Amino acid sequence: MSASIAFVFPGQGSQSLGMLAEQAAQHRLIADTFAEASAALGYDLWSLTQQGPEELLNQTDKTQPAILAASIALWRLWLAEGGARPAYVAGHSLGEYSALVAAGSLGFADALRLVELRGQLMQQAVPVGQGGMAAILGLEDVDVIAACAEAAQGEVVSAVNFNAPGQVVIAGSASAVERAIEACKARGAKRAMPLPVSVPSHCALMKPAAERFAASVEALLWQAPQIPLVQNVSAAVVADLARLKSDLLAQLYSPVRWVESMVCLAGLGVTELVECGPGKVLGGLNKRCVKGINTHSLETPDAFAAARAALA
């Protein structure tokens, strides 16, 4: 184990058609992991990630298992290739489930079925078209929060992802999100743009989903994390299983405190962050969250080899 390394796992928005194709061409372990996932889910997940259709891959109950499977495939490859075990793990939103699998707290097949259900319940909580999310760039957190309060007018809209300084995502009822976009622009936001998502994650509209999700979370066999895990809701290391599960439910309707999570890791002595999953979304955010932290990607064979060399 290396005390200076943390693995971070991405959430929705990191998926793309053809993800991990290069890695799969070189490493049988990628295909084997996806075959295991397909058996758990009852459909060919690898085929969906490689051939689409893209609209289906971007459906939240398909996106969530796909990203989790890709992340765990890369995690297994890292360990199989002799990579150092990290001192800490964390995951952005959905990525917290990948982190729980990596930490040995939750079985892979259980996690896949759990996030598939999570996606279904999230979509059911707010029918397509009734909710929305938007990215607000270049505005202080307090100004985004104030703009949402002003724009709510009896509906739900709130700041839900504190991703990096000057980058906040808001979510809520479609009309309230539109009003909040205008309110943020009026306060001087550099950009305020709707996001192409079908579900307004991490806002109060997701509370019914969390209530329906609770029994499924409780029904699984959980273990205490073998690698300390920084959770989204608390932005702190949580070891107590009851607290870990309750925070996981609260995560559905609570903000993702990513900046604070990265500050927490830096305070624990982490200087190297490895993004374990498809895409490079977190790498871009993490550089802006904490100065002096190096970021690495595992998505392609070249990036993987560079990370192995840097962290040997």
Per the CB < 8 A criterion, the answer to whether 312 and 297 are in contact is: no
- Is 141's pLDDT higher than 80? yes
Q: Which residue in 14, 27, 173, 202 is the catalytic one?
A: 202
Collect all residues with Cβ–Cβ distance below 8 Å to 41 and sequence separation of at least 6: 65, 112, 113, 116
> Could you read off the pLDDT of 152-208 as tens digits, one per residue?
999 999 999 999 999 999 999 999 999 999 999 999 999 999 998 879 999 999 999
202 in active site: yes
pLDDT in tens, 246-303: 999 999 999 999 999 999 999 999 999 999 999 999 998 988 999 989 999 999 999 9
As beta bridge partners, residue 158 has 171
> Could you give the CA distance from residue 43 to residue 116 in angstroms, rounded to a whole number?
12
According to the model, what pLDDT value does residue 196 have? 81
Q: Is 35 helix (H, G, I), strand (E, B) or coil?
A: helix
Span 16-62, pLDDT tens digits: 999 999 999 999 999 999 999 999 999 999 999 999 999 999 888 99
Beta strands in 57-122 (DSSP E): 86-91
Q: Residues 93, 105, 158, 261: which is the catalytic one?
A: 93
Residue the block writes with tokens 């993490």: 286
Residue 127 CB neighbours (<10 A): 10
Does the active-site annotation cover 27?
no
